[in-house]
């Protein structure tokens, strides 16, 4: 395909050159190979500039647009006239020093093509390119190619019943950090059993084999910030564990750009599903003005519990939306958390799958302070006039930026003998502390004055670095010296992070200032936070005879204490135990953690299964350890 295109382009150029530009002609008996493909020349700024000569001819003929060709005549002509370096590259691959030939009065390519003294080995390094942008010929810098990183995420049910059709979203996206496009396709395999696999193309579901490729025949064009969601659905024929393996393959360089796998389980259909009976409410939260909606959602309870008609408690994940949320306006906003029912539980009529909570946005009380530009304030009384004055000293790094200083709206005077000092008469009895909040400094430039801190985070043992970074705030708020607020994106790095080593790690984020805001010499453009890797949860010795015999009521269960490690925000715990065919949940404060709940002691005989759930102060489930007797 590429060779045919190349030959066609050469033939078109030959015809164009012979019919419209007869003065150029062919350089030698080499025919098409003797045509000029590109030119590299030195411009007025000393830059070596590349221009696609063949493309300029094509545009002049096929598009009837001579913009690029006229620019070549102008810029290359200037280089020729002033004796600057000019090189030509022919379609046969030869590179010739045309400026040297002109010095020797050789102006025809045919005169120099076969002479060694005019041949140049290798490529000429060009840093700029003459090209047409928005209808104008301009010289621009050539940027080196940079690869992007791509990620595949597969979302869909982890369990489904035999005969049920499962829908999966395959999201593939780039990090936007490169400047190269790729031609790629998806290669996939589904293992674990047979079934019907379908791929959504142009709004129509099309059956495809369990192993193969999907996407356009000529491949997908991946830009650096490419983001595509592809939908597939699968209807299994057998029970078992299935796996979706997916590769994003570069068609031109025979390499894998991204890969992912996803496992799901196909179960036998439940004959009589349990019905949802009740949903445990969740508590609302309070946040400061300026808190982004994404951060608010992270602060809301991530889970709640539901009770089914078989008296079984399930923990479900909540997906939050906040009605008409405005981070800059105080007030109360309704948050709605929706969830999906676990397998084997169905929704009855009249009961919505949601919980509601109130998000209160409030403005924090800020104690008045000196402006950031002020180093100190002194109030004294003149021995001569009896007047009381306030001496306001400006920090050294701000002296050259200060335009005016005001006290209670009145302008102060700059001391002529010390430009770091400003003075104003104040009422008798005024103290320096009385002036806090009443002094304002006007600068002749707008600069950053405040960076809002972000919250620390905790992650579970074994959390990868990328997932830990994802938990940190993606943005923060900054203010300039005139009080205007901006939201900036944060780029995080965690120093020495090891997800398999519990402890505290320093996270540092950098950001770019908004247009028109300058750096402040006393403020570092960084945001810091602590990432805590929690202890690994290990269920060491747990004596089964203690659960089944009288020993349970004697004291402390080793498993309880092991579970508690790494969950310092737990305030209650529940023991869910099975006696016969019934489940019973007993909740106890963490103050008695490790002691056998009294109700559990009463029902200890016949216990055959024990789960433990930890709750925070708001009643949100933190973790559930199932069947700890095994």
CATH code, domain carrying 472: 2.60.40
Looking at residues 424-452, what average pLDDT do you find? 89
Query: CA-CA distance, 394 to 441, in Å (whole number)?
Result: 9
- Answer left, alpha or beta for residue 358, where phi above 0 means left and psi between -120 and 50 means alpha: beta
Closest by CA to 616, choosing from 371, 161, 375, 301, is 301
Q: Are 17 and 137 found together in one domain?
A: yes
At residue 397 the predicted structure's pLDDT band, cuts being 50, 70 and 90, is: confident
Is residue 282 one of the residues assigned to a domain? yes
Total residues found in the chain within this entry: 630
For the chain, percent of residues with pLDDT exceeding 90: 49
User: 429: left (phi > 0), else alpha (psi -120 to 50), else beta?
Assistant: left
For 461, the token pair is 């043992």
Find out whether 430 and 388 touch, Cβ atoms under 8 Å: yes
Higher pLDDT, 353 or 563: 353
Could you write out the DSSP letters of every residue in 456-483? -EEE-TT--HHHHHHHS-SEEEEEETTS
Q: Which of 444, 580, 461, 596 is nearest to 531 (CA)?
A: 461
What digits encode the pLDDT tens for the residues 340-395?
999 889 988 888 999 999 999 998 876 778 888 899 999 999 989 999 999 999 98
Same domain, 251 and 344: no
Contact (CB, 8 A) for 430 and 379: yes
- Higher pLDDT, residue 303 or 557: 303
pTM summary value: 0.31
Residue scoring higher pLDDT (167 or 30): 167
Each residue's pLDDT tens digit, 492-510: 999 999 998 989 999 999 9
pLDDT score, position 251: 84
Instruction: Name the maximum alpha-carbon separation found in the chain.
Output: 111
Q: What is the DSSP letter of 297?
A: H
**Distance between CA atoms of residues 409 and 433, nearest Å:** 17
Count structural domains, the chain: 6
pLDDT band at 70; cut points 50, 70, 90: very high
Q: Has residue 427 been placed in a domain? A: yes
192 belongs to a structural domain: yes
Same domain, 566 and 584: yes
User: Where residue 95 falls among pLDDT bands split at 50, 70, 90?
Assistant: very high
Domain co-membership, 503 together with 610: no
- Using CB atoms within 10 Å of the CB of residue 376, give its burial: 0 to 12 exposed, 13 to 18 middle, 19+ buried: exposed
Per-residue pLDDT, 446: 85
161, 466, 508 from 501: Cα distances, Å? 39, 16, 19
Distances (CA, A) of 512 to 397, 401, 476: 21, 22, 12
Question: Would the pLDDT of 196 be above 90?
Answer: yes
CA–CA distances in Å: residue 333 to residues 280, 318, 617: 20, 17, 22
- Residue 12 has a CB neighbour count (10 Å cut-off) of 15
Is the model's pLDDT at 445 over the cut of 60? yes
Q: What is the mean pLDDT of residues 305-310?
A: 91
Same domain, residue pair 18 and 102: yes
| Highest mean predicted confidence (pLDDT) among 132-146, 327-341, 602-616 | 327-341
Mean pLDDT over the full length of the chain: 83
For 241, the token pair is 């564990």
Residues 231 and 297: their CA atoms lie apart, in Å, by 27
* pLDDT over 90 at 304, yes or no: yes
| DSSP 8-state code for residue 156 | S
Among 243, 267, 291, the domain boundary falls at: 267
Does 621 or 488 have the greater pLDDT score? 488
Question: What CA–CA distance (Å, rounded) separates 281 from 278?
Answer: 9
- Residue 401 and residue 295 share a domain: no
Q: Are residues 208 and 114 in the same domain?
A: no
Neighbours of 549 (CB within 10 A): 13
In angstroms, what CA-CA distances link 567 with 283, 296, 558, 570, 615? 20, 22, 16, 6, 10
**Which pLDDT does position 34 carry in this prediction?**
67
Residue 171 CB burial class (10 angstroms; 0-12, 13-18, ≥19):
middle
Which tens digit of pLDDT belongs to each residue from 3-28?
A: 433 444 444 444 444 433 433 434 33
What does the block give as tokens for 190? 């589904």
Alpha carbon 475 to its chain centroid, in Å, reads 10
* Domain assignment present for 630: no
- Write out the E strands in 339-468: 345-346, 354-362, 374-381, 388-394, 402-407, 410-411, 413-414, 421-426, 439-443, 448-451, 457-459
Q: What's the CA gap between 446 and 514, in Å, rounded? A: 11
- Contact yes or no for 423/413 (Cβ under 8 A): yes
Q: Would 369 be classed as within a structural domain? A: no
Nearest CA among 64, 91, 88, 89 for reference residue 6:
91
Helix, strand, or coil (residue 130) = strand
Q: Is the pLDDT of residue 549 over 50?
A: no
Asked if 437 and 347 sit in the same domain, the reply is no
Q: Is the pLDDT of residue 224 over 80?
A: yes
Separation of first and last alpha carbons in the chain: 63
pLDDT at 33: 59
Question: How much is the pLDDT for 591?
Answer: 53
Which residues are registered as beta bridge partners of 56? none
The span from the CA of 439 to the CA of 428, in Å, is 17
Residue 538 lies inside a defined structural domain of this protein = no
Neighbours of 374 (CB within 10 A): 21
Q: For residue 598, is pLDDT > 60?
A: no
Decide which of 398, 425, 443 is a domain's last residue. Answer: 443
Please state which of the ranges 255-259, 295-299, 539-543, 547-551 shows the lowest mean pLDDT.
539-543
Residue 432 is part of which domain span?
A: 374-443
| Judgement on whether residues 184 and 292 belong to the same structural domain of the protein | no
pLDDT at 588: 62
Tokens of 96: 């010739």
480 lies in the same domain as 564? no
> What digits encode the pLDDT tens for the residues 268-286?
886 778 889 999 999 999 9
Query: What is the SS3 assignment for 479-545?
Result: EECCCCEEEEECEEEECCCCCCCCEEEEEEEECCCCCCCECCCCCCCEEEEEEEECCCCCCCCCCHH
- The CA distances from residue 489 to 157, 476, 514, in Å, are 33, 7, 10
Quick one: tokens of 516? 């028109």
99 within a domain of the structure (yes/no): yes
392 and 487 in a single domain? The answer is: no
Written as six digits, the tokens of 61 are 């003929």
Write the Ramachandran bin of 192: left for phi over 0, alpha for psi from -120 to 50, otherwise beta. Answer: left
Q: Is the pLDDT of residue 252 over 50?
A: yes
Residue 574 is encoded by which pair of tokens? 């529940």
Cβ-based neighbours of 348, under 8 Å, separated by 6 or more: 275, 276
Q: Does any domain span residue 248? A: yes
**Residue at which a domain ends, from 232, 267, 302:** 267
126 in the same domain as 231: no
């Amino acid at each position: 395909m590429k060779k045919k295109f190349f030959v066609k382009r050469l033939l078109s150029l030959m015809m164009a050159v012979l019919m419209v530009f007869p003065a150029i002609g062919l350089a030698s008996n080499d025919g098409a190979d003797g045509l000029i493909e590109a030119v590299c020349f030195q411009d007025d700024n000393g830059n070596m500039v590349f221009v696609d000569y063949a493309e300029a001819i094509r545009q002049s003929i096929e598009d009837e647009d001579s913009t690029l060709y006229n620019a070549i005549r102008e810029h290359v002509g200037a280089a020729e006239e002033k004796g600057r370096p000019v090189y030509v590259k022919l379609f046969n691959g030869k590179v010739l020093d045309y400026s040297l030939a002109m010095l020797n009065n050789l102006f025809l390519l045919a005169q120099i093509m076969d002479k060694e003294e005019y041949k140049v080995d290798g490529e000429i390094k060009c840093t700029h390119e003459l090209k047409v942008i928005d209808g104008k010929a301009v010289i621009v810098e050539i940027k080196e190619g940079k690869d992007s990183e791509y990620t595949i995420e597969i979302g869909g049910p982890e369990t489904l019943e035999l005969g049920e059709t499962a829908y999966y979203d395959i999201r593939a996206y780039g990090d936007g950090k490169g400047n190269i496009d790729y031609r790629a396709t998806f290669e996939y395999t589904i293992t674990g059993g047979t079934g019907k696999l379908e791929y959504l193309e142009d709004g129509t579901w099309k059956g495809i084999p369990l192993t193969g490729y999907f996407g356009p025949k000529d491949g997908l064009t991946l830009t650096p910030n490419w983001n595509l969601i592809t939908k597939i659905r699968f209807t299994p024929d057998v029970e078992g564990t299935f796996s979706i393996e997916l590769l994003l393959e570069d068609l031109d360089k025979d390499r894998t750009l991204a890969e992912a796998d996803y496992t799901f389980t196909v179960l036998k259909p439940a004959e009589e599903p349990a019905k949802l009976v009740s949903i445990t409410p969740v508590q609302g939260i309070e946040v400061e003005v300026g808190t982004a909606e994404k951060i608010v959602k992270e602060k809301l309870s991530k889970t709640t519990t539901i009770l089914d008609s078989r008296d079984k408690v399930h923990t479900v994940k909540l997906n939050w939306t906040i009605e008409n949320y405005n981070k800059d306006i105080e007030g109360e906003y309704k948050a709605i958390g929706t969830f999906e029912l676990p397998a084997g539980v169905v929704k009855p009529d009249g009961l919505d799958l949601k919980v509601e909570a109130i998000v209160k946005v409030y403005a924090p009380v800020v104690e008045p302070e000196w402006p950031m530009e002020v180093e100190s304030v002194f109030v004294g009384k003149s021995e001569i006039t009896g007047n009381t004055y306030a001496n306001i000293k400006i920090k050294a790094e701000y002296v050259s930026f200060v335009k005016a200083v005001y006290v209670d709206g009145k302008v102060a005077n700059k001391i002529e003998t010390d430009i770091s000092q400003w003075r104003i008469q104040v009422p008798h009895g005024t103290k320096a502390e009385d002036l806090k909040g009443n002094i304002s400094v006007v600068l002749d430039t707008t600069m950053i004055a405040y960076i809002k801190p972000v919250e620390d985070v905790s992650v579970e043992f074994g959390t990868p670095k990328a997932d830990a970074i994802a938990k940190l705030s993606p943005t923060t708020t900054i203010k300039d010296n005139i009080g205007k607020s901006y939201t900036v994106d944060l780029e995080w790095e965690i120093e020495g992070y090891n997800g398999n080593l519990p402890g505290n790690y320093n996270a540092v984020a950098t950001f770019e200032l908004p247009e028109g805001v300058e750096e402040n010499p006393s403020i570092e453009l960084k945001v810091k936070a602590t990432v805590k890797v929690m202890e690994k949860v290990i269920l060491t010795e747990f004596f089964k005879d203690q659960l089944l015999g009288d020993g349970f009521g004697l004291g402390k269960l080793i498993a309880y204490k092991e579970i508690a490690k790494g969950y310092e925000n737990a305030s209650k715990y529940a023991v869910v135990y099975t006696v016969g065919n019934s489940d019973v949940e007993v909740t106890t404060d963490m103050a008695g953690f490790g002691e056998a709940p009294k109700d559990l002691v009463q029902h200890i005989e016949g216990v055959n299964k024990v789960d433990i759930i930890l709750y925070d102060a708001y009643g949100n489930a933190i973790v559930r350890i199932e069947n700890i007797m095994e």
